[in-house]
Structure 1
Amino acid sequence: MTATGLRASALLCLSLSMGLIGMNPAHAARDDANKPLSVSADKGGRLDVVRQRTELNGNVVLSRGSMQLKAERMDIQEGADGFYLAYAQGETGKPVSFRQDRDVPGESIQGYADQLEYDGRADTVRFIGNAVVRRMRGSLVVDEVSGAVIVYDNRTEVFGVEGGQGALQPNGRVRLVMSPRGSASAPAPTASTPALQLQPSPGLQPLRKMP
């Protein structure tokens, strides 16, 4: 589906900012960006030295600090500036997965989708198709958002989510689940554990085409 078609069919477009009003938000683990990138796979692949492009297949795992991507297929490209772009694709019954610790002890961001794009320069993750992203506190789901496309900014912890074809919910609807601060199953956030807030979004950027 084209980006124009996806936007036209969207039922809801919004941003979710993990920060309390008047407080500095906690971010994804700050030292991850300074860690080396490592990739492993079961079936191997090919390396194009001239184009600085690596293609791997079979249980591919990309990690950088606490950040970890898992996919059946992954295409990794290094730009002239040294930043990486990763295009990951899952298979039937086995979506691409993402996980990264937050700068809040015991909390992490976890997400799943049919396809995933990681932009090292912008430090963003784009979940495409049957996308769901959760804020976890240990093994507890504190907040959850699902849609056709979710864009997560690691630096600001702002989510952009769009409905339409490819969403998990019926009729392509976006779905949000946010635990009450006093919930027994999800302990109330303290000053260092920001909660989700909704803000208007100017819209999502066009999708890249998977290689």
Structure 2
Amino acid sequence: MNVESDAMRYDDLKQTNVFTGRVVMTKGTIIIRGARVDVRQDAEGNQFGVVTAEPGKLAYFKQKREGLDEYIEGEGETIEYSSKLDNVRFIKRAVMRRLVGSKVNDEITGGLIVYDNTTDVFTVDNNLGGQNTQNGRVRAMLTPKAAASAPAGTASSGTGPVLRPSTTLEGAQK
């Protein structure tokens, strides 16, 4: 884990680090940015982080998906990450995007978004602690996945058989 910040406080007894001031943290393919990042480590070496944004701004998280040219990125007033559960929670004014390469493919907004990296499942809720956010609605923009390679004899658009050139019209020579 590499961290840049304006200040840091480490507590060896509690196994906690508190980074403050324009924090940028990288761990493998994970990038985290926020005003404050609290990191603790358990006895098994699992790391847990809470990222807090500056007032009026959003904290940021990005991670490459295993074996794909895809990324999950998101923002929220608070972001919680658990290496043990391999999940991330975007809290308040939450936005999560799935990028294919550098292009936004899906985008979801809500009060709370939980993304489980091990199962590739995310849940979105707008009733955060009894407070409705985003006018009480979850919003999603989902792009259809590209069709798998089409079976032989069908068009790549999946609309029917592939037409072959012909020199005849209704069986008669042209």
Normalising by structure 2, we get a TM-score of 0.77
Structure 2 matches for 1:71-150, cutoff 5 A? 71-103=34-66, 105-150=68-113
Higher relative contact order (CA 8 A, sep 6+): 1
Name 1:39's counterpart in structure 2.
Answer: 3
- Whether the 8 Å CA contact 1:147–1:166 is kept in 2: the answer is no
- Whether the 8 Å CA contact 1:98–1:112 is kept in 2: the answer is yes
**Amino acid in the other structure paired with 2:118:** R
The one of 24, 30, 36 aligned to 1:67: 30
Structure 1 residue 70, shift from structure 2 partner? 0.9
Q: Which structure is larger by alpha-carbon Rg, 1 or 2?
A: 2
For structure 2, the 5+ residue unaligned runs are 150-174
Name 1:173's counterpart in structure 2.
Answer: 137
Name 2:20's counterpart in structure 1.
Answer: 57
Distance 2:2 2:148 in 1: 34
Percent identical among aligned pairs is 38
Structure 1 residue 76, shift from structure 2 partner? 0.5
More strand by proportion, 1 or 2? Answer: 2
C-alpha RMSD of the superposition: 1.8
Distance 1:157 1:111 in 2: 15
- Whether the 8 Å CA contact 1:129–1:149 is kept in 2: the answer is yes
More helix by proportion, 1 or 2? Answer: 1
Structure 1 residue 162, shift from structure 2 partner? 0.4
**Amino acid in the other structure paired with 1:49:** D
Aligned residues: 146
Distance 1:189 1:133 in 2: 24
Q: Could you list the structure 1 runs, at least 4 aligned residues long, displaced by more than 4 angstroms after superposition.
A: none
For structure 1, the 5+ residue unaligned runs are 1-36, 182-187, 192-211
- Whether the 8 Å CA contact 1:129–1:166 is kept in 2: the answer is no
Secondary structure at the residue paired with 1:122?
A: coil
Distance 1:133 1:67 in 2: 15
Secondary structure at the residue paired with 1:117?
A: strand
**Amino acid in the other structure paired with 2:43:** A
Change (3 A) 1:101 1:155: same
Structure 1 residue 60, shift from structure 2 partner? 1.0
